[in-house]
């Protein structure tokens, strides 16, 4: 009984904040707004892609990967044979930051890492998922 009461209070609080309490009921405008939110991360990711701040030697991601090409986000997670185990793309992003860029790896949950993943996925949009592919 106490729990119901708490949920009810929380729902009232959410309504007060203007946040929808019903699942699955969103408008085209909502979807457009959310897509725009995603695109802000794509833009932030692109800015990092050409930024010398990720590393220490001035080298940027785009030097070897113009438009994020040859990063294959659709193939991850995959067995990265040089490391001998299955990894997510973010581990390769950090490998590149550590090695060619001579920088400090990003926290995998950092907004920067999410932005880079958002950018790479955007440049690769339309390509079929092929997890594990080499």
Partner 1 sequence: MYDRNLNRRDFLKAAGALAAAGSLPLTSVELAFADPRKNFTFAYISDSHIQHIKGDKFVRNWDRGLIRAVAETNLLQPKPDFVVFGGDLAQLGSKPELDHGMEMLSKLDYKVHGVLGEHDYYLDLGEYWSKLFGDHYSSWDHKGVHFVVLNSILTHDEWTFDRWPTAEQRMSEMAGLDNPNGSPFMVGERQREWLRKDLSRLKKNTPVVVFSHSPIQKIYKGWNFWTDDAEQVQEILKGFDDVTVVYGHVHQIQYNQIGNISFHSVMATAWPWPYPQSYAQAKQYLPKLTIPMNRADPFFERDATGWQMIDMDNGRVALNYNLYDNKNRVVAFNAKSGQPEDSWYQEGERQIPPQTHY
Closer of 30 and 104 to partner 1 (Cβ): 104
Binding residues for partner 1, per CB under 8 A?
50, 57-59, 62-67, 69-70, 72, 82, 95-96, 99-100, 123-127, 134
* SS3 readout for 99-126: CCCCCCCCCCCCHHHHHHHHHHHHHCCC
> What's the min distance (Å) between Cβ of 83 and partner 1?
8
CA gap 95, 53 in Å, rounded: 16
| Residue closest to 122 by CA, chosen among 64, 45, 60 | 45
Query: Least CB distance from residue 28 to partner 1, whole Å?
Result: 25
What are 95's two structure tokens?
């490998």
CB of 111 to partner 1, least distance (A): 23
Minimum CB distance to partner 1 smaller for 75 or for 114: 75
């Amino acid at each position: 009984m106490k729990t119901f009461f708490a949920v009810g209070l929380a729902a009232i609080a959410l309504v007060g904040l203007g946040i929808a309490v019903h699942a699955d009921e969103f408008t085209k405008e909502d979807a457009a707004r959310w897509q725009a939110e995603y695109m802000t991360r794509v833009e932030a990711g692109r800015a990092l892609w050409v930024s010398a701040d990720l590393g220490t030697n001035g080298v940027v991601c785009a030097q070897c990967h113009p438009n994020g090409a040859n990063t294959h986000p659709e193939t991850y997670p995959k067995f990265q044979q040089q490391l001998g185990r299955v990894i997510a793309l973010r581990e390769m992003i950090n490998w590149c930051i550590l090695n060619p860029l001579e920088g400090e790896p990003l926290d995998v949950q950092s907004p920067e890492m999410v932005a880079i993943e958002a950018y790479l996925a955007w440049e690769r949009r339309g390509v079929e998922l092929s997890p594990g592919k080499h």
